[in-house]
Every structure is written in structure tokens, then in C-alpha cells.
Structure 1
Amino acid sequence: MTLEITGRSAADIAVSVRRLIEQGALGPGDALPPVRTLADSLGVNRNTAVAAYRQLTQAGVVVTRGRGGTHVADRSPVAQEGFAVDSVLRDIATGNPDPALIPDPSRALANVVGAPVLYGEPVIDRRLEQWAREWMGADLAPERIELTITSGAGDAVERLLAQALVRDDAVALEDPCFLTSIHTVRVGGYRPVPVPIDDEGMTVDGLRAALDQGVRAVVCTPRAQNPTGAGLSAQRAADLRAVLLEHPYVLVIEDDHFSMLSRRPFHSIIGPEHRRWALVRSVSKFLGPDMCLAVTASDPDTAERLAMRLTPGTTWVSHLLQRLALALVTDPDVIADIEAAGAHYAERNRAFAARLTAAGVPVTAGDGLNLWVQLPVPARDVSEQLMRRGWLARPGEEFALAQTPAARGLRLTVHDLDEPDAERLATDLAAAVRAAGGRLVPAGSD
């Protein structure tokens, strides 16, 4: 392979590698020669080979893995959230809220009219900003808050990473991880560093190890972690803040996507002395995915850089949408509906967890729209068995960054199942575990 790469300058070497990739001689994941080997074979200075690989890395063509070498970037698609297309199976993998529990915006639409917004005007609706400052300020020191509006949490995280990182920078992600975060990091050309999680969220040792590897950003879900439903305890959050004390300039992004629906208190890993941080809260889980709006509170420098990527005339969020969101979240009836929806999701997940535990598959319900089922056998085998029984579930491998026990899980969306379907799914899932070679655990046993 080394002899097929040609060129005397960094640019020519980079072009040669790209040509090999385009022709199919090099495929996703294939290793490139070590820098010294390549330089010796081409008769060029080692710095020339380094510069060629740097060009390829910055272009997203290759990725570096430290001592693991340089490899052709994997451009295969990442699994996406939502309904499966054209499936005849009962989809229990959607991650969607119940449409019956999304507030009807019809009445609120009458309140969104107002003066037209022109180029050069503030990107945030003044009244929404006032409301959002109180909403975010309840969990952060008010004097530290600068607000930005984006088109959803995924948009906010993408822009936050882009304003702080360059390709091949390392980003700490929870493992298992939210699919959108995996996709964002891959498309951005960043290097994901997995941080294991348990029932209390990110582990302290995992975050410390990621920081030791030089991560420049950390993406954390403080509650209703997707896919597991884990949430930070007060003690875990304090321990993580202590670890971050020595890294005040690492960008910490908290994605509190479930916010108003959560049954758990909010605990932040952002300490009072941390210099680069952002708290993101979307409205999509309680007002509906089509309400593409999120509020980001951050330190002033991060807010300024983020705002530069939301210049009026290009990518600011529609003020009509902002006014509609405000009209909904300030309506007492809508607030009551959101509270009832949060209680419904929690109750349905608890009920199914109890049903599944009684069937021999022990489960503890977390927070959020989904239920995470840890399995004694590979999740892919169980999901295949479920398909034979008419169910479509998401295996843990789709959310895993590393081949750890976290990959042995299923994420189920069960809050919309009626009682007969819930009973049938519990029975079929227990049978699927047994057919995949797993042992069922009798109810009440340790």
C-alpha cells in the first residue's frame, strides 16, 4: 500500500491518498502507513508526511487515533432517531413523545402576531428572553447567564462544538450515547472519547480518564440520559465538578433535553469557577419535535461566539416560532398538561419495568421517554428474536461508543402501549432473551 501513495510535497501526497480512497483502493477504517514509513518510502522529510496527514485530517478524510495510527474516516451513516421507514413490525424504538400529549397550539397561534422583524434586529424575542432568563436562572447563577436561541438542542450542540473545536479534537461523550450526539461528532470530524455511565450518570473515573486524554469538550446529560434514563445525583454532580476544577477551559455542554417533563431534580456539573460552559434546554419533548427551538445559557465568551454563527439574515430562529413557544409555556393550562405528560411517561415506564421484571428480565425505570433494558446476552441477538415476534427494537450497539456491557441493552419506547400489548411485549421479550441463550431471573431473587 505504501508504494501506491505518491508525491513529493504535502499537497501532492494528500491528493494521492484521496485518489486512492475515491478509487476504492482504500476503504473506511483502513490504516495508512506510519508517518516515518511513508516518509522513508517516498524519500521526503518526515515533516512533509506529517503535513500531508494534517491536511487530510482537517478535510475529514482521515482520522487519527493516537498510538492507533491514522485511518480512513468512516462515512457510514449513523442510526437516526424516529420511526423506522416502511417497517411492518410494531415499532417500539422511536424515542418519540406521545402526540396525544403534545399541547395543541391552535389557541396560542392567535398571540404570535406582532410587528415584522427586520434584518439587524435582536435575534431573541424580548419577552421570550425575559421568560428564559428566569427558567435557566433557577438552576444557574443569574449574573453568569448570556442567552442564545437555536433551532433545537442538536443545533445548539453542533454550533457550540464548531465554535470551540477543530477537526480531530477529542470530545467526551456518554457511553452509551444519544444518537444525535454521535452523529454530530462524526460529521464534525471530532474524536469521541467514551465516558461510561451508571445509574447516577457519568462516572467520575470515566470523566477523569477522558480529561487525561486531552478532551476539549464534554457533552453531558444531567437527567433523562438517552438511551438509559440515568440522571445525575447531587453527590455525583459534586464529584464531577471537583474533577473539572483542574480543567476550567474545557467546554462543558449540558443537554437538559427533558427539562419540564423530568421527574428528577436538576444537578449541574458546571462549577462556579468554570470558564467555558453551556446549558441547553429544548422545547421539543414537551411542545413537540416540530417546535425546533432551544434556549442556551452560557458564559459571555461562548455566547458571543455562538451568536456569531446565528447572524440575522442567515440562520436566526423565526420570531413567530419564538412567540408561539412563549405563548405556550406561559399558558397555565399548557403547563398543567406538560406536568401530566411527565407523570404519564414516568408511570408507564415504571409499570412496564415491573411487568418485565416479573417476566424474568429485571429492569429499573429511569427518567425520560424510553426504558433501557440491560440484557444477559448480546442485544442484537435479542432484537432479532423480537423481530420474529413482530417487534422492532433498538439494540444497544447503535448507542455504544465502545464494546462494553453498555452495548448489551435495548432501548424501548413503551409509553404508548395499551395493557394487552404491554403484556404481550413483556412475554415476547422474555422469550427472546431465552431463545438468545440468556437466563431469566425469577421475580424476587437477588
Structure 2
Amino acid sequence: MEHDVALAITGRSAADIAASVRALIERGELLPGDPLPPVRNLADDLGVNRNTAVAAYRQLTLAGMVVTRGRGGTRVADRSVVAQEGFAADNVLRDVATGNPDPDLIPDPSRALAGMAGRPVLYGEPVIDPGLERWAGEWMRADLAPSDLRLTITSGAADAVERLLAQALVRDDAVALEDPCFLTSIHTVRVGGYRPVPVPVDDEGMTVAGLRSALEQGVRAVVCTPRAQNPTGASLSERRAADLREVLRAHPYVLVIEDDHFSMLSRRPFRSLIGPDHKRWALVRSVSKFLGPDMCLAVTASDPETAERLAMRLTPGTTWVSHLLQRLTLALVTDPEAMAAVAAAGLHYAERNDAFAERLTALGLPTTAGDGLNLWVPLPVPARAVSEQLMRRGWLARAGDEFVLAGAAPSRRLRLTVHDLADADADRLAADIAAAVRAAGGRLIPAGME
């Protein structure tokens, strides 16, 4: 295969060689995952200097056309679409795969909107609303060990993570991601051309051995969800957080990004990977889960240098987040009635997920609810077989395979969003999942024998 590809590649300069490979990819003669010839072999076949071939491959890497895997060689990049969160378009099935908060539990902004009048903000003024900056500073400092921090406001958590990675990395740099992983993080890393290094997640969060292995592989950044990890619902225990901080002590300049997406809704304490002496770090908290996805605003606290670079990443495009949106956020988070609604919503999500886990356990599918909007349901058979059976029964569920970074074995997990189901619908879904498992050849465990 590699010899055939080498014969098809032409050119004497780095630019011509790169253009030849690009043409092979565009014509479909090279497919995602196909290997390219080793640099030495390609240089010999074309009669060019080895550095010329290296430069050609570097151009292709920077363009996102190929990825380099060290001893695994250079391969055509995978450009397949990553699954996205949210409702499935044009779907007639009952969707329990959305990952959405309940719109009925989002605080009504009407009263806050009525009191938002203020003078217009002009070019060159401070990009953070002073009132929001004071409130957010107290919110973030309460949970961070480093004393010297700066605040940045971005258009949501995904925007913050994308810009944080872009200011610190170049294409093909390695990034440690939780495995299984939040879909948006997978998409962000893939679009940025970075190389994901999976770190396994267990009931206490990111594993110590997994993080240590990722650091040994030269990751330049670590993206972690300290609580309500999506999809598993895991939250860092106090011991696990301490052990992870100890591992990171030897790598103070690796950028650590914590995405505390569930923040005010979480029923678990916040525990951080960021030690008091870590040099490059950022804590990101979006308001989307508790004030609604359309409130595209996130607060990022970071070390001063990272904050300065993040601000520079904002200047070519959206220089600041609308001050109207910032004022609305401040009005809501300082309104006791709105915050009481947020607290009630967090309790509702926890209670509904616990209740559904108990339903599954009673039917022979032992399940424990974590934190967050979703349930991560273990199955005795591959999840895709179960999700296909559920489609026949009128349900759209999300198989765990979409969240997995490593491993060839089919996932045996479903991620379900069930907090908005009425009791009768929850009973029916739980029974249909048990029937789907049986139809797929799985065995249920009688209550009391798990």
C-alpha cells in the first residue's frame, strides 16, 4: 500500500509534494486512516532531500490533512463528523439522548430584562461589566488555590476551551482528554488538529495512572471535568484530586483546563486539579446549564499570562461578549428567587436520575446515578444493539460508542436524559430497556443478586 502511494506522489519541492498528496486525498485515492510512506522512503523515491519530504509532511499536518503518530507513522486525517449534543433533527422517536436541561426549570428572565436599562457600551471600554466582574471574582476565588488570577468572559464554555487550546498549542500537539469524553471536547480537539490522548475515567473521575501516562506521552494540555463528568456523571473525590495534583506538580507548564459545566446545579463539592503553584491553568464555568443554553456566556479564571493570551485570541473576532448579556447574567445570579429556582432544579435532576436508576436496578440492570443531567447506564450487551431495539419501541437513545476515544470493543453503556419524563413514561422506558437487553441476548440480574 505505502509503495503504491509513494509511486502516486509527485513533486520536487515541499509545496509540490504536499499539493500532490492533497490531490490524492481530494480525489479519494487516499482515505482517512491510510498510511503515507515514511519520510526516508518518500525522499528516496522522489530523489529529493529528506528535509524536503519532512517539510511537505509538516505543511500537510498544519493544514489538518494528515496526522503524525510517532512510531505509528503519518496517516491521512479522519474528517468524519463528530456527534453533537442536543435534539436529533427531523426525528419522530421520543428523544432521551438530548443532554438538555429542562426548559421549565430555567429561571424566567422577564423581570431581570425589565431592569437592565443602562448606557450603551462603546469601543475601547472595559470588556467585562464591572458588576459581573466583582461577582464572578468572588465565585471563582472561593474554589481556587492560586491567589493570582484574571477573569475573561467568553461566549460559552466551548468557546473558552477552543480559544484556550488555540493560544497554547499548534496542530498535532497532544491533548489529554477524559475517556469517555464530552462530545464537544472531541469535536474541538479534532477541528483544531490536535492529537487526543485518552485518559480513562472511573467513579472518582480521571485516573491517576491515565494522567501519568498522558504526561509521559508529552501532552501540552489537559482538559478535565471536575464534577458531573459528561457522559459518566463522575466527580473527583478529595483523594483523587490530591493524587492528580501531585502528578501535575512535575509538569507545572502543562495547561490544565477545568470545565465545571454543572457548577451551581451540582450536588457534589468542587475539587480541583489545579495546585497553588501550577503555572498554566484555567477554570471555566458556563451559565448555560442553569440559566439556559441560549445564555452564551462563560466565566474563565486563569493565570495572568493565559488570561492575556486568551484576550488576544478574542481580539480578531468577537472582542467581547455583549454587555447586555453580561448584565442579564448578573441580574439573575444575584436574584434570590432565580437562585432558589436553580437550587430546586439541581435537586430535581438528582432525584429524577436516582429514581430512574432504581427502576432499572429493580428490573435487573444495576445502575447508580452520578451527578449531572444524564445517566450512564451499564449493559450486559453492546449498547448499539440495545439502542436499535429501543428505536423499534419508539425511543431514541445514545450509545456510549459516540463518547469513547480508545478501545476497539463495542461500548456497553447508554447515556440517557430522563429527568423530564413523567413517571408513567419513565416506567415504560425502563421496561423497554430491559426488554431490549433481553432481545439483544443479554441476561438480567434478579434484584438482590447484583
Normalising by structure 1, we get a TM-score of 0.98
Residue in structure 1 matched with residue 406 of structure 2 by the alignment: 402
**Worse-matched range after superposition: 374-383 or 239-248:** 374-383
**Alignment correspondent of 2:235:** 231
Aligned to 2:216: 212
Post-superposition shift, 1:310? 2.0
The worse-fitting range, judged by mean Cα deviation, of 30-39 and 217-226 is: 30-39
SS at match of 1:26: coil
Aligned to 2:77: 73
Contact 1:283/1:293 (8 A) holds in 2: yes
Q: How big is the shift at 1:108?
A: 0.2
Measure the CA separation in 1 of the matches of 2:419 and 2:88.
17
Deviation at 1:33, TM superposition (A): 1.1
- CA contact 1:175–1:406 (8 Å) conserved in 2: no
2:343 corresponds, among 324, 327, 339, to 339
Match of 1:326 in 2: 330
Superposed CA RMSD: 1.2
2:354 maps to which of 350, 375, 383: 350
SS of aligned partner of 1:143: coil
Tell me the alpha carbon deviations over residues 29-73 of structure 1, each in whole angstroms, 9 at most, x when there is no partner. 211111111111111122211111011001111111111111111
Correspondence for 2:263 among 250, 259, 277 = 259
Deviations 1:58-117 (A, max 9, x none): 111111111111111111111000000111110000000000000110000022221111
How big is the shift at 1:211? 0.4
Answer yes or no: is 1:2 the counterpart of 2:6. Answer: yes
Alignment match of 1:52 (pick from 40, 49, 56) = 56
Call closer, same or farther: CA 1:178–1:111 in 2, change over 3 Å: same
Partner of 1:283: 287
Of the three residues 436, 443, 447, the one matched with 1:432 is 436
1:362 equivalent among 360, 366, 369? 366
136-145 or 11-20: bigger deviation: 136-145
Distance 1:286 1:23, change over 3 A: same
Candidates 13, 18, 31, aligned match of 1:14: 18
Matched with 1:305 is 309
Structure 1 counterpart of 2:43: 39
Q: What is residue 132 of structure 2 aligned with on the other side?
A: 128
8 Å CA contact retained: 2:146, 2:275: no
Q: Does 1:190 align with 2:194?
A: yes
User: What are the within-5 Å matches in structure 2 for residues 269-280 of structure 1?
Assistant: 269-280=273-284
User: Do the aligned partners of residues 404 and 208 (structure 1) sit closer, same or farther apart at CA in structure 2, a change above 3 Å counting?
Assistant: farther
Q: In the aligned structure 1, how far is the partner of 2:158 from the partner of 2:86?
A: 14
Q: 2 CA distance for matches of 1:58 and 1:407? A: 33
Cα pair distance change 1:114/1:60, threshold 3 Å: same
Which letter does structure 1 place at the counterpart of 2:256?
V
SS in 2 for 1:52: helix
When normalised by structure 2's length, the TM-score is 0.97
Measure, in 2, the Cα distance between the counterparts of 1:358 and 1:170.
43
Give identity over the alignment, percent: 82
**C-alpha deviation, 1:251, in angstroms:** 0.2
* Structure 2 residue 212 is matched with structure 1 residue 200: no
Mapped contact 2:221–2:254 kept (Cα < 8 A): yes
For 1:405 and 1:335, locate their aligned partners in 2 and report how far apart those are by CA, in whole Å: 43
Match of 2:112 in 1: 108
Equivalent residue letter for 1:425: L
Q: Which structure 2 segments of 5+ residues have no match?
A: none
- The separation in 2 between residues aligned to 1:312 and 1:213, in whole angstroms, is 33
More moved, 230-239 vs 64-73:
64-73
CA 204–406 in structure 1, closer or farther in 2 if over 3 Å, else same: farther
Q: Distance in 1 between matches of 2:108 and 2:168?
A: 38
Is the Cα contact below 8 Å between 2:383 and 2:410 reproduced in 1? no
Distance 1:326 1:404, change over 3 A: farther
* Aligned partner (choices 159, 166, 169) of residue 162 of structure 1: 166
Alpha-carbon shift at residue 22 of structure 1 (Å) = 1.4
> Distance in 1 between the 2:440 and 2:429 partners?
16
Partner Cα distance (1:363, 1:175) in 2: 19
Q: Does 1:178 align with 2:182?
A: yes
Alpha carbons of 1:190 and 1:416: their partners in 2 closer, same or farther (altered >3 Å)? same
Distance (Å, rounded) in 2 between the aligned partners of 1:406 and 1:100:
36
Write the letter of the residue equivalent to 1:222: P
Q: Using the TM superposition, give the Cα deviation of residue 3 of structure 1 relative to its aligned residue in structure 2, in angstroms.
A: 0.5
| Cα deviation, residue 312, structure 1 | 8.7
Change beyond 3 A, Cα 1:367–1:404: farther
Which residue does the alignment assign to 1:315? 319
Residue 18 of structure 2 aligns with an amino acid whose one-letter code is A
Q: Find the aligned partners of 2:199 and 2:392 in 1 and give their Cα distance.
A: 34
Larger displacement relative to structure 2 (93-102 or 19-28)? 19-28
Conservation of the 8 A alpha-carbon contact between 1:123 and 1:312: no
Partner Cα separation in structure 2 for residue 395 and residue 385 of structure 1 = 12
Residue aligned with 1:307, SS: helix
CA pair 187-47 structure 1, distance change in 2 beyond 3 A: same
Find the aligned partners of 1:138 and 1:289 in 2 and give their Cα distance: 25
Distance 2:120 2:292 in 1: 25
Report the equivalent of 2:423. Answer: 419
Q: Extract unaligned runs of 5+ from structure 1.
A: none
CA contact (8 A) 1:399 1:407 kept: no
Alpha-carbon contact 1:400-1:406 (below 8 Å) kept: no
